[in-house]
Amino acid sequence: MRYVSTRGQTPPLSFQDAVLTGLAPDGGLLVPESIPDVRGELERWRTLSFQELALEIVSLFCDDIPREDLARLIERAYASFDHPAVTPMVDVGERQILELWHGPTLAFKDVALQLLGHLFEYILEARGQSMNILGATSGDTGSAAIAGVRGHHNIHIFIMFPRGRTSRVQELQMTTVADANVHALSIDGSFDDCQALMKSTFVDLDLKSSMRLGAVNSVNWARVMAQIVYYFHAGLRQRAPLTFSVPTGNFGDIFAGWLAARMGLPVERLLLATNENDILSVFFNTGVYRRGEVHQTVSPSMDIQVASNFERFLYYHCGEDASRLVSLMAEFSAKGEIRTEGPLDPLIRARSVDTRTTLATIRDTWQEHGYLLDPHTAVGVAAAETLAPGRLVICLATAHPAKFPEAVQDAIGEDLAHHPAVDALIGKPVRSVELPADLDAVKQFIREHGLTT
C-alpha cells in the first residue's frame, strides 16, 4: 500500500514513511492509493477480539512491517486499556453507547495514539533515528499523545493547547507529566490558532527536515487508520443496517467511519453532531463551508472551526482530483468560504446541538437510565434523538465524564463525575510554557529544546 497527498505534489510514500511524515510536504494530507474492499471478510471477522480485528484491518494498510511484529505492537498498545473488550458497548435505553474511553487518558484518542506511539518507537529504532513530534490539541489529543510517547528516549513531544480553553482535567493531564521529553505549550489563542501554527511549521521544510518533525494530530494517517477498527468491532456485532452518531470537531473520527463504510461495513447512516461551532453541520446541510468565530462551550474538544481532516473528505468528494482540491483550499484560505458542487454524501446527516440541549441530555440520561455522559458524548446522543428517533443508533462515547466534572455538575447538580486516574492528578506539580500565537516563537522553542539529528 502506498500513500499519496490530497494535493498531488508529493511522490507516493510507504506506510512507514507516511507515519513519520504526518503532513505531506506539499501541505496536503496523506491517503491510501486505494481503499480495500473487505466485504468478503465480514463474516470471518465477526467473532474476532478487538486486537485480532485490529491486526486484520491495520495489515491492509501496512505492508512494510512484518505481521508478527505488528501483532506485538497492537498487543502492547491495548494492554494499557482497563477493559478486556478495549471498546465495549453498553445499552442505554434505545441507544447503544460505544465506550471509547477505557485507555490511559480516558478519551477515544487513546485508541489511535497508543498504537501510534508504538509505531513511532518501532520505526525509529529500526532506522536509528530520533523525532520531534509537534501537535495541536483542543483537549484530548494532547494528553493522549503525551501518554503514548512519554519517556521515550528517541522522541520529544511538543503539544500546543489554547490557554484557558480546555477543561481543567485536560490541562492537568498534559501539564502534570514530568518526563523530560514532554513539552506542554500554552498558546495565547484558540485551537484553530494552534492548528494553524502546527500546519505552518510543517510547511517550513528546512525546519521539518533538520528537526525531524512528526505529527500526532489526525493529519497523521495512522490516527484515522486505527479508528476504523472500532467501527468494525462494534458494527459486526449487529445484524441490522448500522447507524453511528459521532460527536465531531476535527472530522477525523467520523471520517474513519466513512472509510469503514467505503470498505464494506454495512453503514446506512453517519450522524455528524457538532456543538455551536457548527461549520461542519452547516456544510452537510447546505454545501457551504464557511469559517466563523470560535465559541467556547461545555464540550471544548469540539470548539473548532477549521477541521483539518475535512480536506480528506473533500478530496474524495472531488473524485480524487488533486487539482480541484487545491483550488478549493486556496479559495477557502483567501475567502474563508467555499461552496461545493453536486450532491453531498448521502451517508452523512448533520445537526448542531446547543449547550442547553447538551446539559439537558446529560441530566435526562442520568435520571432515566442511571448512565453518566460527558458533554461531547451528550452532543452525539442528542443529535441521534433528533435525526434518528426510534432507530437503533450506536453513539460514540468519546470521553469519560470525569474529564468534564464542571459540565456534569451543571447538568445534574451533583458532583458525580469522578475516576481514580483523574482524582490522582489533583495537587500534582504542573509545568508548561506560555507562548504567544506566533510562528517564530514556536519554531524557536522547538529548535532550542528539541532533539537534533
Phi, psi of 260, deg, nearest 5: -60, -40
What grid cell was written down for 130? 530520533
What grid cell was written down for 408? 456534569
The Cα 346–Cα 330 span in angstroms is 26
Q: Yes or no: say if 183 and 147 are a contact pair by the CB < 8 Å rule.
A: no
Exposed / middle / buried, residue 391 (Cβ in 10 Å: 0-12, 13-18, 19+): middle
Q: Within 13 Å and on the Cβ side, how many CA atoms surround 345?
A: 28
Q: What is the DSSP-derived secondary structure letter of residue 133? A: E
Which element (helix H / strand E) includes 172?
helix 168-175
User: Given 109, 199, 208, 403, which residue is catalytic?
Assistant: 109
* Inter-CA distances, 206 with 12, 25, 158, 183, Å: 20, 11, 18, 22
The Cα 10–Cα 116 span in angstroms is 22
What grid cell was written down for 247? 460527536
The Cα 146–Cα 124 span in angstroms is 17
Question: Would you state the torsion angle of the CA atoms of residues 395, 145, 206, 326, taken in this order, to the nearest 10 degrees?
Answer: 0
Question: Would you state the torsion angle of the CA atoms of residues 297, 303, 305, 311, taken in this order, to the nearest 10 degrees?
Answer: -150
Phi, psi of 131, deg, nearest 5: -150, 150
The Cα 433–Cα 410 span in angstroms is 31
Identify whether 335 is a catalytic site residue.
no
Phi, psi of 3, deg, nearest 5: -125, 135
> How many residues in total does the chain contain?
453
Q: State the residue for C-alpha cell 447546505.
A: 286
Residues annotated catalytic, as ranges: 109
